[in-house]
Amino acid sequence: MEKFALVTGGMGYIGSHTSVALIEAGYQVVVLDNLDNSSEKVLTGIESITGQTPHFAHTDLRDVDAVLEVFNEYPITSVIHTAGLKSVEESVTNPSKYYENNIGSTITLVKAMQTAGVSTLVFSSSATVYSSSSKPPFDENAKTFPTNPYGMSKYIIEQIMADMALADSKWRLGILRYFNPVGAHPSGKIGESPSGVPNNLMPYLMQVAIGKLEKLPIYGDDYETPDGTCIRDYVHVVDLARGHLAALEFLENKNGVHFWNLGTGKGTSVLELVKEVEKVIEKPIPIEMKQRRKGDIPIVFADVAKASSQLSWQAKYSIEKMCADHWKWQKHYSDSRQ
């Protein structure tokens, strides 16, 4: 039987790379997206990489009837659920928007899946669910305690999924806790396109590198880390995309709910990342030391043993490759906007 995957949020950064990985693995892909934070141009990017254009439903995932129509139209066998809002900052100022969109759309999705008899779902969660009181590396059993509405929306969805699995053993549910996704497809044809001034380090760095922003603010150089700046586990988005495939394969033979960290297991500091980008662009990045950013945890990196043993998944790409591929995309993206 042909494998037919629905990718919610498939026009977005992670969804588009996952769609490419699915198509390359022989899946038929249906992308569902409301284009709230993406553009239809992504379809062209996916097409030029894979030679196939995914089916596209320009639909809001909270629209029950429209979502049911998508399930009626295509013989969907599994769902990758990446659709969601993701700005921590915005979630603090507008929490109801985050709870309504992220949780509301998940409820609509699982109801439609029940109606359509589809029981395999892989969900985009985040390392942000872990408590700052946990000691790195974080394994999947580390204490959870999200500290902002965005993180809380992820945590609540995880709980909903765990309860669904308890209530009905037919569900096959995979929860992927991404660490810090960066990079882009090596073709430079798809990547991350943040709107406005980026909040996250890599897109900010890239906009300084291209000359769109003047200098990089570094939020704190007095942490208890070797160079005083925060340490994160950056993971190449193409590795992450492969992780979704590995989770789908695992779920073919296992029901219940399963949690996996997706990261490299290695930490890189803010200053180390700046140096890596400088090597790629062959010029210095102007920086400015600032006060610590509220809510930042000094050191975050994953224990990736579970994904390695259960999914046979490991991140392959180095930090150099992450920076080089992100830069290639940044240049292409900036050129295409001129």
Yes or no: say if 178 and 240 are a contact pair by the CB < 8 Å rule. Answer: yes
> Tell me, what DSSP letter sits at residue 144?
B
For the chain, what's the residue count?
A: 338
Instruction: Please tell me whether residue 69 binds ligand NAD under the rule CB under 6 A.
Output: no
Residue 327 to residue 42: CA distance in whole angstroms: 18
Residue 230: contacted member of ligand UFG, ligand NAD, none (CB under 5 to 8 Å, by partner type): ligand UFG
Is 83 or 307 the residue whose CB approaches ligand NAD more closely? 83
Instruction: Please tell me whether residue 325 binds ligand NAD under the rule CB under 6 A.
Output: no
Q: Strand (E) positions, 127-245?
A: 172-178, 180-182, 216-219, 231-232, 234-236
Residue 322: contacted member of ligand UFG, ligand NAD, none (CB under 5 to 8 Å, by partner type): none
| Short-list 75, 61, 86, CA closest to 2 | 75
- Locate 83 and state its tokens: 């659709």
In the complex, the residues that contact ligand UFG under the rule CB under 6 A are: 86, 88, 126-128, 178-180, 199-201, 204, 216-219, 230, 232, 270, 293, 296
Instruction: Please tell me whether residue 280 binds ligand NAD under the rule CB under 6 A.
Output: no
Is 130 annotated as catalytic? no
Q: What is the largest CA-CA distance in the chain?
A: 57
Which of these ranges, 46-54, 58-66, 308-316, 326-334, lies near ligand NAD under the rule CB under 6 A?
58-66
Instruction: Please tell me whether residue 13 binds ligand NAD under the rule CB under 6 A.
Output: yes
Residue 270: contacted member of ligand UFG, ligand NAD, none (CB under 5 to 8 Å, by partner type): ligand UFG
Q: Strand (E) positions, 222-293?
A: 231-232, 234-236, 256-262, 268-269, 287-290
* Minimum distance from residue 128 beta carbon to ligand UFG (Å): 3
| Short-list 200, 102, 202, CA closest to 151 | 102
The one catalytic residue among 13, 150, 204, 333: 150
Residue 319 to residue 265: CA distance in whole angstroms: 12
Instruction: Using alpha carbons, list the distances in angstroms from residue 107 to 155, 156, 175, 257, 311.
Output: 14, 11, 15, 16, 27
Residue 78 to residue 72: CA distance in whole angstroms: 14
Is 86 or 328 the residue whose CB approaches ligand NAD more closely? 86
Is 43 or 218 the residue whose CB approaches ligand UFG more closely? 218
| Short-list 247, 330, 178, CA closest to 21 | 247
Instruction: Please tell me whether residue 243 binds ligand NAD under the rule CB under 6 A.
Output: no
Place of tokens 């586990």: 233
Site map (CB under 6 A) of ligand NAD, residues 139-178, x = contact:
---------------------------------------x
Is 62 or 177 the residue whose CB approaches ligand UFG more closely? 177
Residue 315: contacted member of ligand UFG, ligand NAD, none (CB under 5 to 8 Å, by partner type): none
Active-site positions read 150
Chain residues that interact with ligand NAD, rule: CB under 6 A? 9, 11-15, 33-38, 60-62, 82-86, 101, 105, 124, 126, 178, 181
